[in-house]
Amino acid sequence: MTAPNTAKRTVHLGEAENTLISQLLSAGARGAADELAASGLPTRRIEAYHYTDLKALLGEVPAIAEEAGQVGPPKFRVPGAYRILVANGRIQQSTTPPNGVVVSEAGGSSLTERDDVLVMLNHGLVEKSLAIGLENSVDPIVHIDHRIAGAPAHTAGALRIEVAPGATATVLETFSGSDAAHMGNQGTRVELGDGARFTHIVVDLSALNSRHFHTIEYAVGANVQLRNLLVNSGSALSRTQMFGVFAGEGAHGDFSGLNLVDDGQHNDITLDVNHAVPNTTSQELFKSVVRNRAKAIFQGRIVVSPKAQKTDAKMMMQGLMLSEGAQILSKPELEIFADDVQCGHGSTCGELDAQSMFYMMSRGIAREDAKAMLIRAFVQELLDPIEDEELSEALSGVVEEWLSRPAKSPAI
């Protein structure tokens, strides 16, 4: 009589895992190396990576980045912003910070340890993280310009943003680099003091053959107004995972994101919002536009803790598919333990509305122009809340650049 086999299967480690293990070991992170050796990279059997099977998708891991040489001009520029250039994980240049901004460095990763391979790698590989203190209301946008320069390189970086109680600020993080198969693993932790008003814009413009991973944490204090916007148009493989925790009453968070995905790209946005205290609200709006053979993934979870009465959370995911071979995979989740709440989510996907197309074409607008207009209208809802005009224009530029990329497979 044999009982069903419950023994754990031994993990077969691939080349990528072995490279990562040796990189962790040379960084002195034995614990992380052992853990990775025991579990391997997550496969689709790990729920959080259900649609992004890192083991199958990661590919070759390049060597740890050396000191960067010459870096080119920024791909994304907002006039008047205070820019800090971080190349290959090291602060490269920065001018005197504006009033209220304190720039410093701290040891190790800024992220909270959690059961996640990207966070574990970040902890194992980051030696020094950048810390930005926003001590009172800061007028110019603070732009952290992350680059990977030169030959294919693996960089791990971390940033801590601390917003003082009552302060108002906008931080922009952009990711770009040379045209090589890089791998970037960034961590950002944002701590928001009570009553802070904070806008966080993250733009990924990495080379189309690179891999980009970004973990963002938000610790939200009481009466905070948080707005975040993610715009992805780069990378062959990317995953941006956000963990927001509402720890003070009266706070509101707007989480939003735009995945612009084209041939061969696989872009994953994963969001976890935890309403841990009563009287907090959040609104989540994520959109994907997919063209050619590409994949856009959105996983969003809203958790309402037992004590978090009067939570109001609404999550919306909308996908637009422009051609054969496009895929939109989404998993909006609700996990509710309190009864006096209003929570909901919606998810839609489909192609451009045939009636709207017909309407415009019947009025003499060419098919391609009509399509572009509808796509612009679809994404505009995300850009509208951005108050800074220069920033809003720069973000529109990302959409325009994506629209103007040459079409590959026939549209439908």
Partner 1 sequence: MPAIKETVEHVEELEVEKYKYGFKSDIESEVAPKGLNEDIVRYISAKKDEPKWMLDWRLEAFRRWQTMTEPTWARVHYPKIDFQDLHYYAAPKSMSAPKSLDEVDPELLETYKKLGIPLKEQEILAGVEGARVAVDAVFDSVSVVTTFKEELAKAGVIFCPISEAIRDHPELVKKYLASVVPVSDNFYATMNSAVFTDGSFVYVPEGVRCPMELSTYFRINEPNTGQFERTLIIAEKGSYVSYLEGCTAPMRDENQLHAAVVELIAHDDAEIKYSTVQNWYPGDKNGKGGIYNFVTKRGDCRGKNSKISWTQVETGSAITWKYPSCILRGDGSRGEFYSIAVSNGYQQVDSGTKMIHLGKDTSSLIIAKGIAAGKSDNTYRGLVSAHAKASGARNFTQCDSLLIGDACGAHTVPYIESRNATAVFEHEATTSKISDDQLFYCQQRGLSDEEAVALIVNGFVREVLQNLPMEFMVESQKLIAISLEGSVG
User: Which residues are at the interface with partner 1 (CB under 8 A)?
Assistant: 1-6, 47, 50, 306, 309, 319, 321-351, 412
Q: Closest CB to partner 1 among 50 and 90?
A: 50
| Best CA proximity match to 301, nearest among 280, 331, 265, 324 | 331
Q: Closest CB to partner 1 among 3 and 95?
A: 3
Q: How far is the CB of 338 from partner 1 (least distance, A)?
A: 6
Q: Closest CB to partner 1 among 94 and 327?
A: 327
Q: Closest CB to partner 1 among 103 and 334?
A: 334
Check: CB of residue 320 under 8 Å from CB of residue 283: no
Q: Closest CB to partner 1 among 28 and 346?
A: 346
Q: Closest CB to partner 1 among 212 and 287?
A: 287
CA-to-CA distance for 157 and 123, rounded, in angstroms?
9
Q: How far is the CB of 349 from partner 1 (least distance, A)?
A: 5
Q: Closest CB to partner 1 among 30 and 367?
A: 367
Q: How far is the CB of 374 from partner 1 (least distance, A)?
A: 14
Q: How far is the CB of 31 from partner 1 (least distance, A)?
A: 26
Q: Closest CB to partner 1 among 60 and 335?
A: 335
Amino acid code (one letter) for 170: T
Q: How far is the CB of 283 from partner 1 (least distance, A)?
A: 15
Q: How far is the CB of 265 from partner 1 (least distance, A)?
A: 15
Q: How far is the CB of 321 from partner 1 (least distance, A)?
A: 4
Check: CB of residue 205 under 8 Å from CB of residue 75: yes
Q: How far is the CB of 292 from partner 1 (least distance, A)?
A: 10
